[in-house]
Amino acid sequence: MSKKKRVAIIGTAGIPATRGGFEMLAEQLVLNLNDQFDFSVYCSKKNYDKARRQKSFNGARLRYLPLSANGVQSIFYDSLSILHAVFFSDILFVMGVAGAWILPFVKFLTRKKIVVLVNGIEWKRTRWSRIARWYLFWAESKAIKYSHIDILDNESIQDYTALRYGSLSRVVEYGADHISKEEPGEQHVNDFEFLKKPYAFLDFDGIGDCQFRMVMDVYAKLPGKRLVVVGNDCSNPALKKQLAKYEALPNIDFLDYGWGSSVYNVIKGNAAFYLYACNRAGTEPRLIEAMRLGLPVIAFNISYNRTTTQHKALFFGNASELETLISGLKLSELETIGEKMQELAGRRYTWSRIAKLYEGIFTEALAARDKIAVNPKFAKLSEDKLLELGLGHLKHQQSFFEKR
């Protein structure tokens, strides 16, 4: 029996997952593909105290580093993980671009296969400083150019990577079937009186993120509509000071519960609809989880959200449109949308499907020599040569990202 190929998963905080996105992806790959591959997962000691650290998880070796997987430290975290993994792994599966500066050296000096998951267009996000954005912009180019296969989590970013890099990026989203609806118990209803009536659910990421202020201003004008905002840090004193103006509103509740907690699942799962006002590039794991729960979705009108919901959600482009949408919502309409979201999530955003796709990608990466480009190699031949071969039509092909 041939030895299993070794895959190093780099760039996540670690497993077992305490959050969605990369961490849940890492966990699910380990759970679904541990028969096919021998996994090592790099984890951060900052997220797992001594008591919670394990040597392995479902057969995957866990290696801990004393650095954070986020922020500036992520550059060193990823870099050290890559340097270490080069000695033990056949495939380096790198999530994010923080450590991408080292990939050219890995590609040219080793025979390791590099698969990179590019999480959106991070350099465009205004929450980062200019210097951070410069680095992310540059690092993204290194990640895509020097990987054997690059993966995007949203089809709407494929045009961008094709245009900028000429790369035929793969699109693999996330699964959402790790979450299921939890009915509220008596205690929940006692603690949260809003559960008795319809309310909208909003994941909180920060005041400056996801057009939070716009949403608050809209709900300030709709006192009859309830909004529940749940975030990890809502009870932070510094943040509470900034949120005071909105906390004073009687129809908006701010709750401090982490993703994955039972209370979070109950509150989210029983909302009348999920409000997603973000304009960031990529597929948001919490959005597809909401779809999995059968929640109707009202999302910001941008290509990524339209792609994630296959244009079947309700969309708004500005405060006025959001206000009109929320004011005019009908229960029957919401039910229909919720069913569509759940059907879509059940068909597309399942971990078995996602894991299968990754299995194919890892297998392909092992055999890959060069990266597949958007433009075929024959396009480099002169037009005269192609005409001679009777293939002149191939010189002027229109690619998928060139909209007619």
Partner 1 sequence: MGQYFDLMIVFLMAIVLVLIIMPVFRSLAIRFGLVDKPNARKVHYTPVPLVGGATVFVASLIAILINTEVISNFSSLYPLLVGAAILLLVGIIDDRIDVRAIYKLAIQLALAYYVFASDIRIDSLYGVFGIYEIPEFLQFFLTLVVVAGVVNAFNLTDGIDGLAAGLAIFGFIAFSVIALLLNQLYLMVFFVAITGALLGFLRFNLSKHKKVFMGDAGSLVLGYILVVSAIMLLQQAQLIGYMRYTLATVLGILALPVIDALRVFRRRIKTGYSPFRPDKTHLHHLILNFGVNHKFASAIIVSIAILILALALVFGSYFSITLSVIVILVAFGMISGFSQLNNQMTIWHGKVEELEKQ
The residues binding partner 1 (CB under 8 A) are: 121, 123-124, 130, 133-134, 137-138, 156, 159-160, 163-164, 279, 281, 302-304, 403
- Smaller CB distance to partner 1: residue 152 or 228? 152
Name residue 122's amino acid. E
Distance of closest approach, residue 216 Cβ to partner 1, in angstroms: 24
Distance of closest approach, residue 153 Cβ to partner 1, in angstroms: 15
- Which residues, 6 or more positions from 261, have their beta carbon under 8 angstroms from its beta carbon? none
Distance of closest approach, residue 125 Cβ to partner 1, in angstroms: 11
CA–CA–CA angle 301, 302, 306 (5° rounding): 80
Q: What is the DSSP letter of 256?
A: E
- Smaller CB distance to partner 1: residue 369 or 404? 404
Q: What is residue 171's three-state secondary structure?
A: strand
Distance of closest approach, residue 205 Cβ to partner 1, in angstroms: 19
Mutual angle of helices 130-145 and 158-165, in 10-degree steps: 80
Structure tokens at 11: 């760039």
Name residue 25's amino acid. L
Distance of closest approach, residue 129 Cβ to partner 1, in angstroms: 13
- Smaller CB distance to partner 1: residue 52 or 164? 164
User: In angstroms, rounded to a whole number, what is the distance separating the alpha carbons of residues 76 and 98?
Assistant: 8
Q: What is the DSSP letter of 222?
A: -
- Smaller CB distance to partner 1: residue 317 or 360? 317
- Smaller CB distance to partner 1: residue 352 or 399? 399
Distance of closest approach, residue 21 Cβ to partner 1, in angstroms: 21
User: In angstroms, rounded to a whole number, what is the distance separating the alpha carbons of residues 66 and 85?
Assistant: 16
- Which residues, 6 or more positions from 88, have their beta carbon under 8 angstroms from its beta carbon? 6, 8, 40
- Smaller CB distance to partner 1: residue 53 or 164? 164
Kind of pairing, strands 91-95 and 170-171? unpaired
